[in-house]
C-alpha cells in the first residue's frame, strides 16, 4: 500500500514538474505596428505643411454595395484598423513635433542640429549663430526631445506595451528619423560617429 501511495505521489509530482516546465512567458511586442506608426508619423513631421497629392478618384459604389463588400471581407478591414494607432495625445504630440520641426529646419540645413543614434536631437555646432539664436536652438531641441519621449510613452500606452519596452519603440522611431532625414542633415551612426547624409 505504501509503495502504491509513493508511486502515485511520484507520478503526481512528475506531472506537476512537467506542467510547470511547459509554462512559457510570452512577452509580445507589436514591432510591425510600431514600425508602421513610426513610418507614418515621421513622414508627416518631415513633410510639414506640404500639400498632399490628391488621391486618385475611386469608382463610386452604392452604399449598400460598400456595406456588402465590407461584410464579406471583415479580415481585411480588421487588419487595416489594427495597424492604425491614434488618440488625442498622440495627435497633439505629433503636431508639436511637426511645429518644432518647422522651426528647426534652418538649423538642420546649416548643420547646427543633428539626429542622434537614439532618435533624439542634439546641438552639434553653434558656429555662425549669435547668443539669442543659440538659446533659441537649445530651447527648441529640448522641447522637441521632451515631446519625442512623451510620444514614445503614449505609443506604448496605446498599444498596451509595458513601460520597460519603451526603449524598443524609441529604437524603431530612431531608425525612421535617421533613414528619412533629408540629404545634407547630420545623423549619428549606431557607432556614435556623425556623418552628413
- Within-domain flag for 136: yes
- Within-domain flag for 7: no
Q: What's the structural domain count of the chain?
A: 1
Average pLDDT over residues 63-73: 51
- Within-domain flag for 166: yes
CA gap 153, 173 in Å, rounded: 12
- Within-domain flag for 113: yes
Q: Is 27 helix (H, G, I), strand (E, B) or coil?
A: coil
135, 178, 103: which is closest to 123 by C-alpha?
135
pLDDT tens-place string over residues 115-160: 999 999 999 999 999 999 999 999 999 999 999 999 999 999 999 9
pLDDT tens-place string over residues 180-197: 999 999 999 999 999 999
Higher pLDDT among residues 183 and 62, named by residue: 183
pLDDT tens-place string over residues 168-179: 999 999 999 999
| Stated pTM of the model | 0.69
CA gap 172, 182 in Å, rounded: 18
Window from 16-30, 63-77, 113-127, 132-146 with minimum mean pLDDT = 63-77
- Within-domain flag for 54: no
- Within-domain flag for 63: no
Exposure pattern of 128-154 as b/e (b: 16+ CB <10 Å)?
ebeeeeeeebeebbebbbebbebbbbb
Average pLDDT over residues 158-168: 93
Range of the domain at 149: 29-47+84-197
Amino acid at each position: 500500500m505504501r509503495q502504491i501511495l509513493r508511486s502515485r505521489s511520484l507520478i503526481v509530482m512528475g506531472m506537476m514538474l512537467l506542467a510547470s516546465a511547459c509554462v512559457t512567458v510570452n512577452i509580445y511586442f507589436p514591432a510591425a505596428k510600431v514600425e508602421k506608426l513610426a513610418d507614418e508619423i515621421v513622414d508627416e513631421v518631415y513633410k510639414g505643411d506640404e500639400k498632399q497629392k490628391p488621391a486618385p478618384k475611386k469608382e463610386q459604389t452604392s452604399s449598400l454595395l460598400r456595406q456588402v463588400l465590407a461584410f464579406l471581407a471583415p479580415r481585411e478591414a480588421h487588419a487595416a484598423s489594427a495597424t492604425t494607432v491614434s488618440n488625442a495625445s498622440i495627435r497633439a504630440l505629433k503636431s508639436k513635433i511637426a511645429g518644432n520641426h518647422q522651426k528647426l529646419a534652418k538649423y538642420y540645413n546649416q548643420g547646427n542640429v543633428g539626429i542622434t543614434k537614439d532618435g533624439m536631437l542634439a546641438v552639434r555646432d553653434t558656429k555662425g549663430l549669435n547668443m539669442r539664436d543659440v538659446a533659441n536652438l537649445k530651447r527648441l531641441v529640448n522641447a522637441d526631445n521632451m515631446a519625442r519621449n512623451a510620444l514614445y510613452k503614449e505609443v506604448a500606452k496605446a498599444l498596451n506595451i509595458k513601460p520597460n519596452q519603451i526603449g524598443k519603440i524609441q529604437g524603431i522611431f530612431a531608425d525612421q528619423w535617421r533613414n528619412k532625414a533629408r540629404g545634407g542633415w547630420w545623423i549619428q551612426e549606431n557607432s556614435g560617429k556623425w556623418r552628413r547624409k
